[in-house]
Amino acid sequence: MFRLLKDAFKERDIRDRILYTLWILILFRIGTHITVPGVNAGSLQELSGSGLFNLLDTFGGGALSSYSIFALGVSPYITASIVVQLLQMDILPKFKEWSEQGEVGRRKLNQATRYLTIVLAYAQALGISFGFNALTGLGLIRNPGLPSYLAIALVLTAGTMLVMWMGEQITVHGFGNGVSLIIFTGIVARVPEDLMNFYNSQIRNAGDQLTQSIIFSILIAIGFVLLTIAVIYIEEAKRNIPVQYTKRVASSAQSAVLPLKVNWQVLFLLFLPAHS
């Protein structure tokens, strides 16, 4: 692996793409620590024990707990993408027409997704501002009032659009899917803190149940490794279907195959219980 990375950095184009991707991800991590003006992020510590809050905070890489400018992350963009895809299914004829126009129609759909992202991000920003301010006993917003809520929602919406732009730049000038990499970066950034919390709760403060906690931790580690191996195995699984050509010479040693990936939906349906 290290030799592969070393050889990759020798190629200027690959090296530039890797460095560009890392630079964008570093900027994203810096943005997750910039708190929105007019907000007391410390009041959110009371909600840190909530499972839903921790889940949302994990995908944002801690951006929600600090109520940063990137607190919404890319969730409005993902929601808007799903809505636009659903509207293409003969629900909105114009979107259905655009989906059949190739590259031109794809650009129109992407533009519609961006506009919908702005609307959803602003509505979601207002919702979480009102909701978290109420859950923290009116301690989140320093000067509660309609102008403050509107200004905070505007900042959060701008942060979402900036994160979306970063993801698009990674997709074009970097490596892989930018939005997926940003989500992955947010999750990985929380791993050290989650491991430390797990160690403190299961090992350090185990008391008389230390042996059971160690066994439980080992079982979790083994389950995580097995789950990772299973996901990789199924994701990379394929079946090679031989392709025969009528005009090919019978003595030709070359053979062509059509690789078919595993369909997750079909695999999931196979394990569902049968209903009469």
Of how many residues is the chain composed? 276
pLDDT of residue 272: 53
Q: What is the mean pLDDT of residues 249-254?
A: 54
Q: What is the pTM of this model?
A: 0.76
pLDDT in tens, 133-146: 888 887 888 888 89
Residue 90 backbone zone (phi > 0: left; psi -120 to 50: alpha; other: beta): left
Domains, the chain, in order of start with CATH, read 2-189 (1.10.3370.10)
Q: pLDDT-derived band of residue 120, with 50, 70 and 90 as boundaries?
A: very high
Tens of pLDDT, residue by residue over 10-40, are 778 888 888 899 999 999 999 998 999 988 8
Q: Give residue 276's pLDDT band: very low, low, confident or very high (50, 70, 90).
A: very low
Give the pLDDT mean for 172-176. 86
User: Residues 67, 41: contact at Cβ < 8 Å?
Assistant: yes
Report residue 11: phi and psi, to 5°. -85, 125
What confidence category does residue 275 fall into, taking pLDDT thresholds of 50, 70 and 90? Answer: very low
Question: Rounded to an integer, what distance in angstroms lies between the CA atom of residue 270 and that of residue 261?
Answer: 16
Contact 123, 147 (CB under 8 A): no
> CB 172: neighbour CB atoms within 10 A?
9
> Is-contact 186 58, C-beta < 8 A?
yes
Distances, alpha carbon 54 to alpha carbons 45, 46, 58, 160, 273, in Å: 11, 12, 6, 19, 33
